[in-house]
Structure 1
Amino acid sequence: MTTTAQTAAKNPRATLQDWLPKLVLAPSFALILLFVYGFILFTAVLSFTGSKLLPDFSAWVGFNNYVRLFNHPNWITSLKNLAIFSFLYIVICSVLGLGLAILLDQKIRGEGVLRPIYLYPMALSFIVTGVAWKWFLDPGIGLEHVMHLWGWESFSFRWIKDGKMAIYTIVIAAIWQSSGFVMAMFLAGLRGVDNEVIKAAQIDGASTITIYRRIIIPLMRPVFLSAFVVLAHLAIKSYDLVVAMTDGGPGTATWTPALFMQKFTFGRNEMGMGASSAIIMMIMIFSIIVPYLYSELGGGKKQ
């Protein structure tokens, strides 16, 4: 009887301990449901309407906005720019980040100083990076002007003003910003490789290059996958860097899907078209994130 009474007396406290974390998290969960998933749903519904300046759910147009979107030359230009930017950004950041990580993994002198130097650009916002690179690449005040002052009058670097080359200046700035972060990811992966495996390979006479190529880099597959997902996500969302450097110019030479969405939603009062472009971007991101989560959370594991 005593035990039963004690259990009954403890039940309210145990119940409170059970429910307290849920009660504390409930407001955050509700806000996430409303402001993330609620507005995703709102945008999806909006993409099927002919809304202009304000939402108009009476003007139902079905998939017409998506048809107009993929027939619009500026959207096609945005997709082409995104393809160029994403490919170069992901590949060069990965190669450069891996190279820097391997360099630091050799326990070189000054590693403690070099790490924060490489990581420093990631501490800056993309707006700050964009403005700094815009000044640096501007022919009137930047690199070209400085080279002329030093006497090299024939030097010319006007990519940021050239419609065919401007997108590559965005790539340069983005790589400068993100390669240090990728380096940190790869360095953490390198330091996590079992030293016993490396020592065994060294005893067998394997060279350093062979050890990295045949053992270390294959073991870092999850790090490569994580780096790809992060970089692809940043590439698809690229907006602030583009706005700060070129604002999409010259003309539409550096438009990206995110910039297209902003221009049509707020600049041209085409809210329905802007919403449809946002949904396409979300599908792009989901097509990267969902397989990654499936792989990481056990879908790809052997039972």
Structure 2
Amino acid sequence: MTEPTKNKDGPPIHWGAYLGLLPIYLIALGIYIFTMGFTIWISLTNSKMIPVNNFTGLYQYRRLFNDARWQISATNLGIYLVVFVGLSLALGLLMAIFIDQKIRFEGGFRTIFLYPQGMSFIVTGLVWQWILNPQLGLEKVFHNMGFTGVSIDWLIRADTAIYVVGFAGVWQASGLVMAIMLAGLRGIDEDLSKAARVDGISAYRYYRHIVIPLLTPMFATALVLLSVGGVKVYDLVVALTNGGPGISTEVPAKYVMEFLFRRANVGLASAAASVMLITVAAVVIPYIYVSEFRKKRVRTPV
């Protein structure tokens, strides 16, 4: 058995374990790096139905950013991310604070809040289609109650449909945020809460100025997970609106699939996919850097 190497700055290094995992690392990195590099290369060619090696520089990117459909897709993604990430963080935090009050039936509430997270986005989209269906959903319920003037047509209106998609995403993802925040809350020393009550600090000030700053790592983790999931959203849009009405809920992932399979424009689809890759990297890389920097600070002796 390989003896661990002593490391003066941290725990011993078990080289045998790393050596055993080396083939997996090489395969995974090879697949990811090759596919990403190949996609970027194809985006620099004039590939149509099949990839070709005819280099055209940034031509596809100029076409992409001048395309009104892509501009609408990018705008919709921005709206979706604001609604999806912002409300998921807020609602998840509130649910975690609620459960952290040592309430009765805590396990039942956790299950209820987390249940949507166990569904796929396809199922979520279908559920929200039923909820907003005038013949089956909320509008029908209000009409049966006598409120015949109520019209819930948000899903078929071009100016509100993308917000409905965002709310459906929040319904599914807020449970995950709740679990992350609850883990952070359970890690906070209860003496802080007792001291705040003794000093007469209100619950709002306690959570605003003490608890939330302590939950910064949890917020960062949830933010990265939500942002990455939001950038690549596709199945929720297809199941709920299929990009409609018109292209009012078109998003970049659907744009890529549209030009990759239906319009047979591999070069343009690869350019759009490369832009999505850069967007995700812009979120993930700073998070990894900050996390590693924080670990080094913890390991560094004072």
Q: Hey, what does 2:221 align to over in structure 1?
A: 226
Range with bigger deviation, 73-82 or 156-165: 156-165
Kept after mapping to 1: 8 A contact 2:43/2:268: yes
> Match for 1:212: what amino acid?
Y
State the shift of 1:138 in Å. 2.3
> Match for 2:25: what amino acid?
F
The structure with the largest alpha-carbon Rg is 1
Range with bigger deviation, 263-272 or 24-33: 24-33
Q: Hey, what does 2:283 align to over in structure 1?
A: 288
User: Please, which runs of 5 or more residues in structure 2 have no aligned partner?
Assistant: 4-13
> Match for 1:238: what amino acid?
V
CA distance in 1, matches of 2:184, 2:18: 35
CA distance in 2, matches of 1:177, 1:69: 31
CA distance in 2, matches of 1:31, 1:173: 36
**Residue 82 (structure 1) aligned with residue 77 (structure 2):** yes
**Residue 192 (structure 1) aligned with residue 178 (structure 2):** no
State the shift of 1:96 in Å. 0.8
The counterpart of 1:45, out of the listed 41, 46, 57, is: 41
SS at match of 2:103: coil
CA distance in 1, matches of 2:59, 2:215: 45
Q: What RMSD over aligned residues (CA atoms) do the two structures have, in Å?
A: 1.9
> Match for 1:25: what amino acid?
L
Q: Hey, what does 2:264 align to over in structure 1?
A: 269
The two structures have a TM-score, normalised by structure 1, of: 0.89
CA distance in 1, matches of 2:210, 2:269: 47
1:230-277: CA deviation from partner (whole Å, max 9, x where unpaired): 111111011010011111111110001111111111111110000011
User: Please, which runs of 5 or more residues in structure 1 have no aligned partner?
Assistant: 1-12
CA distance in 2, matches of 1:122, 1:142: 22
**Residue 213 (structure 1) aligned with residue 208 (structure 2):** yes
CA distance in 1, matches of 2:158, 2:283: 30
1:170-201: CA deviation from partner (whole Å, max 9, x where unpaired): 01110100111111111111111122333333
The counterpart of 2:31, out of the listed 29, 35, 38, is: 35
SS at match of 1:297: helix
SS at match of 1:235: helix
SS at match of 1:55: coil
Kept after mapping to 1: 8 A contact 2:40/2:270: yes
The two structures have a TM-score, normalised by structure 2, of: 0.90
CA distance in 2, matches of 1:19, 1:226: 29
**Residue 133 (structure 1) aligned with residue 121 (structure 2):** no
Identity of aligned residues (%): 41
Kept after mapping to 2: 8 A contact 1:294/1:300: no
State the shift of 1:14 in Å. 4.4
The counterpart of 2:161, out of the listed 153, 166, 169, is: 166
The counterpart of 1:248, out of the listed 233, 243, 246, is: 243
CA distance in 2, matches of 1:157, 1:143: 8
> Match for 1:274: what amino acid?
A
> Match for 2:228: what amino acid?
H
Q: Hey, what does 1:10 align to over in structure 2?
A: none
State the shift of 1:30 in Å. 3.0
Kept after mapping to 2: 8 A contact 1:94/1:227: yes
> Match for 1:40: what amino acid?
M
* Structure 1 residues 140-159: aligned runs within 5 Å: 140-159=135-154
Kept after mapping to 1: 8 A contact 2:231/2:280: yes
Q: 1:144 to 1:204 in 2, by over 3 A?
A: closer
SS at match of 1:298: helix
